[in-house]
Structure 1
């Protein structure tokens, strides 16, 4: 029987009912995302054909959200709730959820918050229109939205922006995502800048949580939770299971302690979040520089975001991961597009790692590029033999991308990284 790669996504609101929906045991998989009011608390994959009784599903759900609740309990300085460590869901689950999470839910939102949202785009008008509409429909709106039209080949982006009178349009003729991001910095006027991709839709409370994060004066940058918008194809499933932007459901702090603890192997700053959902204090760029224009789409291929987080940390600032700032991302639908994307990811990954090594000679990025990565791919080559199905079918493009990134670095290491500002 042919394997099914279609997974239905269902968002389950635990504040409304503790009764989970029936999950049919057929060829369709399920991706269940659990929420308590506006707070995401976990997810669960139910594989195609997997037989799950209601009792088993309830237990799997509990095990998926239990680690999140334990962290929130500690963050709230609550005593260890009875049953929170048990393997079976407590009979008073509603009360446990309310006690643990109520202080993190927001009932009253301001109409507007002083943040600039920057969307860098190129010839993707249909996706952009959906993204802009989601931003305009927010109950708590950003004060400013800037669309950077990066080296377009038509006027479709300008036509979409014209439908939203309050949105600022910026034409950037030079191709390159980090070039476009830097143009956004120059256009934005609010004290906090948030970047989202043109293929995401923001959650209703997203702008509020971006603003709320920066009320902590120790935070210079942040990332947020990225949830898959659809899992309709094999390519999308490969990406979500092996390259996911989802960094979990609990707050994380990345600072000097994290940097020094991971210095030997090269701090894995790519784990901090995704450029599809990130934000910065605007004045930070005047202190540590703009995005490295040798990186990301249109240049090395990727990692302009993680290289920026690296510089944030090397300058003794902190990055916060806030899982309540949620966006929904549409992954690449077809395998050829995914392979091309992963080639660019690995090209940018190795190029950025070597650039970061040059900035900080004590970091272990050379060890990562020339030892850890080869061992990693050797394992996957052996593991996938001989079929090289599912995740393994992209390995060749990933390895080519990693090698290309090394060559790109050698060729461009002496190029200026920053625009003249």
Structure 2
């Protein structure tokens, strides 16, 4: 329902063929400020920050964010935005050893070789190296996608049936590891993304872990609208979605889209043998969506737990144009 609401809102904007009135006075790109709590004397940042998105970092990890509505000092912003429990959780995750290392990174792509190159370039910097990297080319035209994959040393798989879930299923079938981690071609990964996703699987009932997805840029009105009104970010607190969550919403259906984003998710591979693969009737065409949400719902229905882990960070580059 929420996806339909957002798509409807976007369609109304497109029908007006104009930027919404609340954005007409804004200047683009909207700046994104990254401020380190430890290495910067925040009270010395001058003058006060007057616009944009502010993201606070602790030990290199985002731990809080806010949009500036009026000029405010960095120190005041940090006091208002960064929660002690978020900092403590980030410290605990950093001190937790990695027990699950048998993991593949899976990327589905179609006709975006340059974005794919940018994504692949962020993988060698991972603190936990994957056993394998599999890129599924979902019927791209030409050979540019294949060349980008071969240059990176990743495994190339071709899936000519058009649809993201056909590609996801081909990636799962090709993987040889105990865990599989999905990201998108228009994503850049934090160096601890894979490590912290894997640390989220600390209980046997946890079947899926999703991560925090921040905007890679806010260069256009379309990107800003997407980030403000839909967004892939789910905040800075770990959340477990279990049978209590599923049962609480049984009458109308659980809002599983709050679990995370398909651009940053990892699974125990055995769940695909237990409850099946992604539903290929979803994620079809330019406006298709919800294959990931349906799968999270299916996991909950079968008694599994899904976890949102905010220390598994990545950046998504939203589509730049309104169409």
**TM bin (shorter chain):** 0.7 to 0.9
Within a 5 Å distance, the mapping from 1:271-286 to structure 2 comes to 271-286=258-273
Q: Provide the residue aligned with 2:17 in structure 1.
A: none
Q: Provide the residue aligned with 2:92 in structure 1.
A: 103
Structure with higher Rg: it is 1
Q: Provide the residue aligned with 2:3 in structure 1.
A: none
Q: Provide the residue aligned with 2:281 in structure 1.
A: 294
Matched, 1:253 2:253: no
Matched, 1:233 2:220: yes
- Cα deviation per residue 1:45-102 (whole Å; 9 max; x = unaligned)? 114xx333x3xx4223212112xx23x5xxxxxxxxxxxxxxxxxxxxxxxx5x7753
Of 114, 126, 131, the match for 1:126: 114
Q: Provide the residue aligned with 1:32 in structure 2.
A: 54
Matched, 1:6 2:29: yes
Q: Provide the residue aligned with 1:164 in structure 2.
A: 152
Higher relative contact order (CA 8 A, sep 6+): 2
Q: Which runs of 5+ in 1 are unaligned?
A: 73-96, 337-421
Whole-angstrom CA distance in 2 between matches of 1:23 and 1:159? 47
Q: In structure 1, the residue corresponding to 2:42 is in which secondary structure?
A: coil
Matched, 1:51 2:71: yes
Q: Provide the residue aligned with 1:268 in structure 2.
A: 255
Per mean C-alpha deviation after superposition, the further-off stretch among 5-14 and 122-131 is: 5-14
Q: Provide the residue aligned with 1:16 in structure 2.
A: 39
Q: In structure 1, the residue corresponding to 2:296 is in which secondary structure?
A: helix
- The offset of 1:24, in angstroms, is 6.0
Scaled by the length of structure 2, what TM-score is found?
0.86
- Pair 1:220–1:242, CA change in 2 (3 A): same
Report if aligned partners of 2:49, 2:68 keep a CA contact under 8 Å in 1: no
Whole-angstrom CA distance in 2 between matches of 1:2 and 1:259? 42
Q: Provide the residue aligned with 1:242 in structure 2.
A: 229
Whole-angstrom CA distance in 2 between matches of 1:123 and 1:199? 11
Q: Which runs of 5+ in 2 are unaligned?
A: 1-23
Whole-angstrom CA distance in 2 between matches of 1:289 and 1:205? 29
- Pair 1:196–1:24, CA change in 2 (3 A): same
Whole-angstrom CA distance in 2 between matches of 1:247 and 1:232? 21
State the Cα RMSD in Å: 2.2
Q: Provide the residue aligned with 1:113 in structure 2.
A: 101
Report if aligned partners of 2:98, 2:199 keep a CA contact under 8 Å in 1: no
Scaled by the length of structure 1, what TM-score is found?
0.67
Alignment length (residue pairs): 299
Whole-angstrom CA distance in 2 between matches of 1:324 and 1:101? 6
